[in-house]
Amino acid sequence: MSDFSAEFSRDLRSAGVVGAGGAGFPSYVKAQGRAGYALVNAAECEPLLKKDQKILEYFPAKVFDGLELLMRAVGAEKGMLCIKKKHEKIIPRLEEIAKSRKNITVLKMGDYYPAGDEQCLVYEATGRIVPPGGIPLDVGCVVSNVETLYNAAFRGVPVTEKFITIAGAVKKPATFKVPVGITWAEAVELAGGFTVKEPAYIDGGPMMGKVATDFSAPVTKASAGIIVLPKNHPLIVKKALGRPVFSRINRSACDQCSFCTEFCPRYLLGHNVQPHRVMRSQLFSAGPEHKLHSQYALLCCECSLCSLYSCPEGLNPREACVAAKSDLRELKMGFKNSGLNKGGAPKAHPVREFRKVPVSKLVQRLGLTDYSKDAPWTEVNYKPSKVRILMSQHIGSPCAPAVKEGQRVQKGAVVGDVPADKLGCPVHASIAGTVTKVNEKYVEIQAD
């Protein structure tokens, strides 16, 4: 690792920079690798979410600054901002900035789902396929989210604010920046309030996000936004089904047509993911056949395309894959020690190009046409009276509280941290005030 990589990765860790597109992977780890390409994932293909587009519209230079730092840290010769060509309003400005920077270009992609899947993005940008069970670094690429690079550009300044989109059944769908730790209820108020009596929400995009009803939950550093919907919206109902129910329905109705597999983006990249065979395994009780077929879930990226678009029966192959992976984890089986790991380089399916699913069709299928509108950038300058800083806002070990009840903290003070030898990074106070509650899950701060 070069001196600059070490210094930049220290800055990222101390500032608590994590993947801001939902994953929350600690960014300092990526800065320690070596890669020829540094890619900005600006695909933002989850319907209704707009925060990355708005960052690129209003703060583009910062994202390019972050990209240049990442390129220097990993030794990348090429930087590429990968965005859908439908964003024609902002692309000329992005191209102008790219031209003024060294070795950075803008890649314009089609409007399909999941263009933002890290491995699909790597293939679109470089023609390289990440090996099964591998990561982009294995093919000389490092991929970073728009907001993550925006945060990285501030070199060591703690991440205390978050860009989020509030969309769906709210009066004024909007994108804004708020202190980490405010509640979703406060964020919905900033978007004009609910338009339905019994709301629920999807935390993250409608495809990969999780259904929730507790609007008192806090915004985290990894939050991308929420989609508010009526509790009885079919998408909420389907995503909320528990394992016993979807397993029973899956078992009784799957006709093994294999559409789920034929449209699977990872299968189309040449990875051996076959959700229809995972569905078949649900017909067997746990035993050798069950385990054999379940292995076809191991490379599933949980994009939900099979469950929310491909399956003509409206079944839930994605959940079958998630459940199979969890069962296999208990048996200590991952892809590397599975029977499917036979080596050999994967090849993209010859019809991959023709099986890309347009986001417009997806929006119709999800029943979100009425909610599909802009969420304009809005300056809110919100000053909360209280925030709740979660100790687990990233992949890896959760933080342990680093403050005591009654203690005064300034904005940006470390309130939780992870031992240096563990994967993770600190969390910071997003407002100045007094610590009123501390436990292993969160630190609460009352504003001055």
Query: Which spans of this chain sit near ligand SF4 (rule: CB under 6 A)?
Result: 254-260, 264, 266, 273, 275-276, 279, 300-306, 310-311, 313, 315, 317-318, 321
Q: Which is nearer to ligand SF4, 149 or 321 (CB)?
A: 321
**Shortest distance, CB of residue 112 to ligand SF4, whole angstroms?**
13
Closest approach of ligand SF4 to the CB of residue 318, in Å:
4
Q: Which phi-psi region, left, alpha or beta, contains residue 226 (left: φ > 0; alpha: ψ -120 to 50)?
A: beta
Q: Which is nearer to ligand SF4, 214 or 255 (CB)?
A: 255
CB of 132 to ligand SF4, least distance (A): 12
Shortest distance, CB of residue 279 to ligand SF4, whole angstroms?
Answer: 5
Q: Least Å distance between CB 210 and ligand SF4? A: 14
Long-range contact list for 245-253, CB < 8 A, 24+ apart?
246/315, 246/316, 246/319, 246/320, 247/282, 247/320, 247/323, 249/315, 249/316, 250/279, 250/282, 250/315, 250/316, 250/317, 250/319, 250/320, 251/282, 251/283, 253/313, 253/315
Which residue, 153 or 268, has its beta carbon nearer to ligand SF4? 268
What's the min distance (Å) between Cβ of 415 and ligand SF4?
Answer: 36
Minimal distance, residue 263 CB to ligand SF4, in Å: 7
- Smallest gap from residue 227 Cβ to ligand SF4 (A): 19
SS3 of residue 228 by DSSP: strand
In angstroms, give the least distance from the CB of 179 to ligand SF4: 34
Q: Are strands 427-428 and 414-417 parallel, antiparallel or unpaired?
A: antiparallel
C-beta of 104 vs 303, nearer to ligand SF4? 303
Q: In terms of CB distance, is 324 or 390 closer to ligand SF4?
A: 324
**How near is the Cβ of 357 to ligand SF4 at its closest, in Å?**
10
116's tokens: 């933002």
Amino acid present at 205:
G
Tell me how far apart the alpha carbons of residues 234 and 18 are, in angstroms, rounded to a whole number: 32
Encode 297-336: b = buried (16+ Cβ within 10 Å), e = exposed.
Answer: bbbbbbbbbbbbbbbeeebbbbbbbbbbbebbeeeebebe
Q: Which is nearer to ligand SF4, 40 or 264 (CB)?
A: 264
Contact 375, 165 (CB under 8 A): yes
Q: Which is nearer to ligand SF4, 170 or 260 (CB)?
A: 260
How far apart, in Å, are the Cα atoms of 228 and each of 165, 168, 172, 210?
A: 11, 5, 12, 12
Contact 413, 16 (CB under 8 A): no
Task: Give whichever of 21 and 433 is closer to ligand SF4, judged by the CB atom.
Answer: 21
Residues facing 39 on adjacent strands: 80, 143
Give φ, ψ of 330 to 5 degrees.
-65, -30
Complex with ligand SF4: residue 7 or 262, whichever CB lies closer: 262
Nearer Cβ to ligand SF4, position 42 or 207? 207
- Tokens encoding 282: 């649900």
Peptide bond into 114 cis (omega under 30): yes
Give the nearer residue to ligand SF4 in terms of CB position, either 275 or 426.
275
Tokens at 115, concatenated? 């263009």
- Quote the least distance from Cβ 300 to ligand SF4, whole Å: 3
Report the alpha-carbon distance of residue 399 to residue 393 in Å, rounded.
9
Token pair in block for residue 5: 């990589």
Tell me how crowded residue 162 is: count the other CB atoms within 10 A of its CB.
Answer: 26
CB 435 within 8 A of CB 406: yes
